[in-house]
Structure 1
Amino acid sequence: MKMKYAYSPSQNVFLMIQWKEDYISAGSWPDDVIDVSDEVFNEFTSSVKGKVCVAGQDNLPAWSDAPAMSQEEMVTTAKATVQALKNEATAVIEPLKDALDGGYIDEADMPRLTAWQKYRYDLTKVDISSLPVDFPTKPDRS
């Protein structure tokens, strides 16, 4: 079944035409709907780094530069990134640490364990109050 889409410039949203009656029943079908092709729908519902979909001068979707993040958003993002990197480091360290504790770690894995432990420690020292954040270099996973 080929889907058909509509776009509302005032609400900057895409709607599925096959559900129009449902939107109308719910009182949410905009007055300024414009039919758009599958190609337009697919283009503007995908992500483009640094861009956001907006209503263009012709009332059709268009790309615009994404607004800069606020200080609070940058700090929140930095905190989440640090935590994700710590989680990744822990996932690498744990089996190596288990092997060390059990006395069966391969000698070749010792430098890898040490590098990842140091990296995880360095992540605890990341200063997120000073933006942009300077993250430590991640060791090789292999």
Structure 2
Amino acid sequence: MSGSTTVNGIWPQTPAAFDATYQPDQLIAGVYPRVTENVTLAGAQGVLVRGTVLGVVTATGKYVVSTSAATDGSQTPIAVLADTYDTAAGDVAGAGCYFSGEFNQNAVTMGTGWTAATLAAALRPANIYLKNAVTAADPT
């Protein structure tokens, strides 16, 4: 009988290093299908955080923070920003947005003039649903 060393399985396990930390933000609040698309964010809005509710400016086709008093088309909320983007240096092409899904109303960033109730009603025709989800924030 020969004494040989074997590796279990076909590929040996090797440890991997990751330079990322999982930070749950509780934006997603249900299983309704999420549809994503890339859009162009208009510049000079500063840093737009994940979860910001956006509208589209009719004349340019660019997305901005939706405010209820706007008159350029962006008063109709149509998307939720999927990641954080800095628009200070100009337009940002290829910004990911959700165009349907269920989102935590406590985790979305609303523009001026919106309340959770009015924004929920305005987003409903776009198949974007805001829910008053219970938070699981760290109690410390």
Using structure 2 for the length normalisation, give the TM-score. 0.21
Using structure 1 for the length normalisation, give the TM-score. 0.21
Q: Taking CA–CA contacts closer than 8 Å with sequence separation of 6 or more, which of the two structures ends up with the larger relative contact order?
A: 2
* Larger helix proportion of the pair: 1
Q: Of the two, which has the highest radius of gyration?
A: 1
